[in-house]
Amino acid sequence: MKILLANPNATEAITEGCGVLARKAASPGTEVIAWTNREGPPVVDSFYADYAAGRALSRSLARWAPPPDAVVLAGFGNYGTAAVKEVMDVPVLNLAEAALAFAIPFCHRFAVLTTSPRMIPYTQDLIALLGLAGRCSGVRAVSLPPLDSTDPSPAAAEAEVLAAVEHLVAESAADLVILGGSRLSPYAARIGDRAPVPIVEPVACAVHMAEAAVRLGLRQSKLCKFAPPPGMRDPWA
């Protein structure tokens, strides 16, 4: 089985980090192909960057050959997920879809920790788009070290992420926390046994869900919403 792990942004360090987590989560015999959207923005930190990433992502993946068995969009956001589902015939999912699907059976209400204050409304809108706003008790942000930091997960940042989780749980009464961003994912293993509630790491969730979809023969329906777009043969596509 081959899973294409597509980073919506153009930063190789994020692709590499997600690739490590994905390969660790993958079952024996699953090959994870980590790919960077080099025509996308350096990071997705706004609605503008989200739309820019989505256009480049859908155009590139539509030309991917031979197709993988499944595609995981390695970011906790939208990134034109529906467009990618339209142009591909294999199962496609993003980190948010997978993390929320895994979280719901194990909590009454969940909360999401994101990577910057301006991504709070973005994440709230994303959760509403996925139909789960009623189960979300809060979205809060934590600051992370710069991408060019010599240590991607210093002890100080680890302590800050744990403190943010604890504060989020106390404030929102959530009984599960999702780490809402691929840059947050590496902290899950570091704080999981000290956090007051279960911590959901989206990369692992997405890899396991992609594997399950392939084994079960599931993919997005091509009957209506995700049917191939009429413009696929136009020059702009």
Taking alpha carbons only, the member of 208, 214, 139 closest to residue 177 is 139
The one-letter amino acid code at 50 reads: D
Q: What is the rounded average pLDDT for all residues in the chain?
A: 93
Q: Chain-centre distance of CA 42, in angstroms? A: 16
Residue range(s) defining the domain that contains residue 105: 97-201
Confidence band (pLDDT; 50, 70, 90) for 219?
very high
What pLDDT, on the 0 to 100 scale, is given for residue 235? 42
For residues 215 and 180, membership in a common domain is answered with: no
Return the biggest CA–CA distance within the chain.
Answer: 53
Chain CA centroid to CA 35, Å: 14
Task: Say yes or no: 46 and 75 in one domain.
Answer: yes
What is the arithmetic mean of pLDDT over 146-151? Answer: 61
Given a cut of 90, whether residue 16 has pLDDT beyond it is yes
How many Cβ atoms are within 10 Å of 132's Cβ, its own excluded? 16
Q: How many helices (H) and strands (E) does the chain have?
A: 8, 8
- Residues 221 and 96: their CA atoms lie apart, in Å, by 19
Q: Are residues 26 and 83 in the same domain?
A: yes
Length of the chain: 237
Same domain, 187 and 117: yes
Residue 76 and residue 154 share a domain? no
pTM, to two decimals: 0.92
What CATH number did the domain enclosing 122 receive?
3.40.50.12500
Burial degree of 72 (CB within 10 A; 0-12, 13-18, 19+) = buried
Whether residue 229 is found in the same domain as residue 176 = no
pLDDT surpasses 90 at 78: yes
Does residue 101 share a domain with residue 178? yes
**159-211: pLDDT as tens digits:** 999 999 999 999 999 999 999 988 899 999 999 999 999 999 999 999 999 99
The pair of structure tokens assigned to 76 is 């906790």
Residues 156 and 196 in one domain: yes
Structural domains in the chain (count): 2
- 220 and 188, same structural domain? no
Check whether 107 has a pLDDT greater than 80: yes
| pLDDT the model gives residue 230 | 87
Query: Average pLDDT for residues 73-91, to the nearest whole number?
Result: 95
What secondary structure does DSSP assign to 180-207, as a single string? -STTTTTHHHHHTTTSSS-EE-HHHHHH
